[in-house]
């Protein structure tokens, strides 16, 4: 394979679409097929089908509807994260503020988008997720967690010892990530370089076994490092 061909292959994103509504699957497929850098390798009508299809087709990204019959997107995401961690999940939700979105991020989704997202943003998000980054805005994720962290179905906080794996500097970086701060803002707040912040972030991810900033925010709340503001539902 030539260098140019290899570069084109690396830029291509293979996608599995999982949604219980045939019309939605067709619409998403038409949007994705309009971009030559995206290849739709399959479709699934529920979470169980998505898990089976992902095991066979090994897509880069599963575009996963959160609310589906038989097996919802949250459980399917958890199974994929455990069995095929190299396969990224981009969750789709009808509503911006949805407790199922937080559950999907806890389960291992690399981000989420509302179903009314523009085609341009959807295509860009697929490439971002394939690259190993999250596509959920930290401040929006913080709002989501603050809204739903107290629901009856929310899991119990992580053992307090989880933060003992981190150095004091790393704990502070994690706290700032949870407030929605970007690397440049963290660097300014802690009076350190952006490259040092990046090193801290990499170390935090490795020590806590998480993949991206979205899961870092969830971990910060579940460990008790950051708590919902008073008066939050």
pTM of the model: 0.71
| Per-residue pLDDT, 160 | 53
Every domain of the chain and the residues it spans: 3-136, 160-222
- Alpha carbon 1 to its chain centroid, in Å, reads 32
Distances (CA, A) of 166 to 134, 159, 209: 22, 14, 12
Concatenate the DSSP letters of all residues of 123-175 into one string: HHHHHHHHTT---S-HHHHHHHHHHHTTSTTSPPPPPGGGGGGS-HHHHHHHH
Residue 210 confidence (pLDDT): 84
pLDDT of residue 157: 46
Per-residue confidence (pLDDT) for residue 148, from 0 to 100: 60
Please tell me the predicted confidence (pLDDT) of residue 99.
73
What's the chain's Rg over C-alpha atoms? 18
pLDDT at 133: 80
Per residue in 120-158, pLDDT (tens digit) is 999 999 999 998 888 876 566 666 666 665 544 444 444
**pLDDT at residue 101 in the model:** 78
Q: What is the pLDDT at residue 130?
A: 92
Q: How many residues does the chain have?
A: 233
Second CATH level (architecture) for the domain 3-136: 3-Layer(aba) Sandwich (3.40)
Q: Is CATH 1.10.510.10 the classification given to domain 160-222?
A: no
Given a cut of 50, the residues of the chain with pLDDT beneath it are 1-9, 151-159, 231-233
**What is the structure's pLDDT at 10?**
62
For residue 209, count CB atoms less than 10 angstroms from its CB and return exposed for 0-12, middle for 13-18, buried for 19 or more. Answer: exposed
pLDDT, residue 146, reads: 67
pLDDT at 220: 85
């Amino acid at each position: 394979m030539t260098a140019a061909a290899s570069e084109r292959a690396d830029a291509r994103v293979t996608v599995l679409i999982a949604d219980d509504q045939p019309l939605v699957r067709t619409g998403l497929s038409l949007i994705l097929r309009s971009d030559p850098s995206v290849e739709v390798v399959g479709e699934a009508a529920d979470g169980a089908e998505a898990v089976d299809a992902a095991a066979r087709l090994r897509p880069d990204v599963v575009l996963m509807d959160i609310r589906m019959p038989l097996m919802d997107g949250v459980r399917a995401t958890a199974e994929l994260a455990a069995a095929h961690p190299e396969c990224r999940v981009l969750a789709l939700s009808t509503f911006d503020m949805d407790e199922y979105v937080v559950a999907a991020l806890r389960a291992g989704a690399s981000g989420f988008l509302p179903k009314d997202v523009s085609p341009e943003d959807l295509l860009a998000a697929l490439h971002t997720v394939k690259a190993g980054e999250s596509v959920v805005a930290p401040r929006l994720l913080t709002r989501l967690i603050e809204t739903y962290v107290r629901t009856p179905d929310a899991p119990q906080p992580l053992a307090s010892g989880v933060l003992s794996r981190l150095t004091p500097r790393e704990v502070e970086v994690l706290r700032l990530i949870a407030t929605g701060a970007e690397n440049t803002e963290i660097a300014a707040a802690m009076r350190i370089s952006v490259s040092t912040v990046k090193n801290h972030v990499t170390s935090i991810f490795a020590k806590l076994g998480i993949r991206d900033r979205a899961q870092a925010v969830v971990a910060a709340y579940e460990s008790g490092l950051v708590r919902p503001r008073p008066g939050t539902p």
